[in-house]
Amino acid sequence: MIRCKHPQFRVSDSRDSNIFFTVALPGGKALRGSFADFDAMMVWKEADLGTSMLKMVLYADSVSAKTMRLTRRLMGPSCLNAAQHRIITFQSTEWERLTANEYLLYGKLSLYGTSKLVVFEVTDLGTLIDGEGMPKHNKLQFDSIIKPSDFNLARVARPWHFDRDIHLQGIVVFKNEVTSDLAQVQHSINRVFELFHSLHH
């Protein structure tokens, strides 16, 4: 196993990434929303996805839906309540390898002021290795079922069907250089660290 002298940081590239959720509604319909703004970071100590650490921050006030009316409802006090709970965070605790490119990712999700352990199904859609044998580009697919009752969403948003499971999905690309501007890359890393520090300390 290749180890690095210092932890390697990879930040999400929003241009090639997409995080969205779906809620099944009566009559076979579904409510779908997406997060236009999010930050994610991976920390590598070895060239093995299963030993990495992942932190992700989603911004509830960046949610968008099919219409402006739906968007306002999703961000409003009866749903995500973005004005009161703008930040949604996830921090990994453990990886479990299922196949060569499939994993279960365990971690703590903080939503609506409540933190719970959740499990994501993760598929490695492709990894590029640099000259030192460390990953420099990762494309990961995430998939999880979130139970609103675990986060007090069902009680608040029952008229809006948030008592039903939320199917959270996404494809996130991690790169060691988001742009040619290294200061912007460092800003992305610092932003994730600062948000987690303020929320969990």
In percent, the amount of the chain with pLDDT more than 90 equals 36
Closest CA to 168 of 121, 115, 114, 107: 121
SS3 content of the chain, % helix, strand, coil (to 5): 25, 50, 25
Number of domains in the chain: 1
- Grouping H, G, I as helix, E, B as strand and the rest as coil, residue 128 is strand
Averaged over 17-34, what is the pLDDT?
85
**Angle at the Cα of 50 from the Cα atoms of 146 and 142, rounded to 5 degrees:** 30
Query: Token pair 């009559």 is at which residue?
Result: 27
- What is the predicted pLDDT for the residue at 187? 53
Q: Which domain holds residue 23?
A: 3-200
Distances (CA, A) of 103 to 13, 50, 119, 148: 21, 8, 10, 24
- What is the predicted pLDDT for the residue at 81? 81
> The CATH number of the domain where 165 resides is what?
2.40.128.110
Structure confidence at residue 135 as a pLDDT band (50, 70, 90):
low
Q: Please give the residue that has the higher pLDDT: either 30 or 4.
A: 30
- What is the predicted pLDDT for the residue at 118? 96
Torsion over CA: 64, 68, 69, 72 (sign) = positive
Structure confidence at residue 179 as a pLDDT band (50, 70, 90):
very low
Residue 22's CB is within 10 A of a number of other CB atoms, namely: 15
Torsion over CA: 74, 41, 141, 143 (sign) = negative
Model's pTM, two decimal places? 0.78
Structure confidence at residue 96 as a pLDDT band (50, 70, 90):
very high
Asked whether 3 and 135 are in contact (CB, 8 A), the reply is: no
Residue 188's CB is within 10 A of a number of other CB atoms, namely: 19
